[in-house]
Amino acid sequence: MLDILRRRRSIRRFAEKEIEAEKIAALKEAILRAPTSRGLNSWEFIFVDDRELLHRLAQARRHGSAFLAGAKLAVVVAADPERCDVWIEDCAIAAIVLQLAAVSLGLDSCWAQIRLREHDERTGAGDYVRRLLGLPERFQVACVIGIGYAAEQKESHARDSLPWDRIHDNRYRGE
């Protein structure tokens, strides 16, 4: 697992290579295995590989979602807040499980935050994505994960560059 964490980087440029069906099936299984609070499974996942929809998802935010146009797959992570009070946490856990599973399969990914972001001056990014994909009004969109084969290479963060000062043993020792 540590090797997967070392290899995972936010990749925003994807190669034209299609993702194999068995890898997409594995990603679907992986995300459904993500832990959830009290096993309530408040989340819903929409796997998008339609080129037109990917281009429209890329417009979800004013800044920070354009890379989705080049992804071969995008996974929309949404939830029904009426099912569980910690839906945000459940979605975040599922999203990172998906990203780590992608690395384990030789794929790369990048997270596009949707919740609390703007599409334009009148519409939130979540409302835009929800309407685009036909999600019921009660659903909230947490994020969209773009996935594909990398068209850019990024080195792992060096171990000594990690923020070790954020680790505390037994008690907080900051400030």
Do residues 129 and 70 make contact, with C-beta atoms less than 8 angstroms apart? Answer: no
CATH number of the CATH domain containing 138: 3.40.109.10
Residue 118: partners with Cβ closer than 8 Å, 6 or more residues away: 61, 62, 124, 125
Do residues 19 and 98 make contact, with C-beta atoms less than 8 angstroms apart? Answer: no
User: Structure pTM?
Assistant: 0.96
Asked whether residue 166 is domain-assigned, the answer is no
Number of domains in the chain: 1
Residue 7 CB neighbours (<10 A): 14
Q: Give per-residue pLDDT as tens, 124-147.
A: 999 999 999 999 999 999 999 999
Output phi, psi for 113, to 5 deg: -65, 130
Do residues 75 and 31 make contact, with C-beta atoms less than 8 angstroms apart? Answer: yes
* Interval 111-132 mean pLDDT: 98
pLDDT band at 155 (very low <50, low <70, confident <90, very high): very high
Instruction: Tell me how far apart the alpha carbons of residues 84 and 39 are, in angstroms, rounded to a whole number.
Output: 10
Do residues 87 and 80 make contact, with C-beta atoms less than 8 angstroms apart? Answer: yes
Asked whether residue 31 is domain-assigned, the answer is yes
Asked whether residue 162 is domain-assigned, the answer is no
Q: By residue range, what is the domain housing residue 121?
A: 11-152
Asked whether residue 173 is domain-assigned, the answer is no
Asked whether residue 6 is domain-assigned, the answer is no
* Interval 103-109 mean pLDDT: 98
Asked whether residue 87 is domain-assigned, the answer is yes
Asked whether residue 121 is domain-assigned, the answer is yes
Q: Give per-residue pLDDT as tens, 45-93.
A: 999 999 999 999 999 999 999 999 999 999 999 999 999 999 999 999 9
Instruction: Tell me how far apart the alpha carbons of residues 27 and 115 are, in angstroms, rounded to a whole number.
Output: 22
Q: Quick one: CA torsion of 65, 50, 53, 58, rounded to 10 degrees?
A: 10
Residue 128 CB neighbours (<10 A): 22
Q: Which helix (H) or strand (E) holds 102?
A: helix 87-104
Asked whether residue 174 is domain-assigned, the answer is no
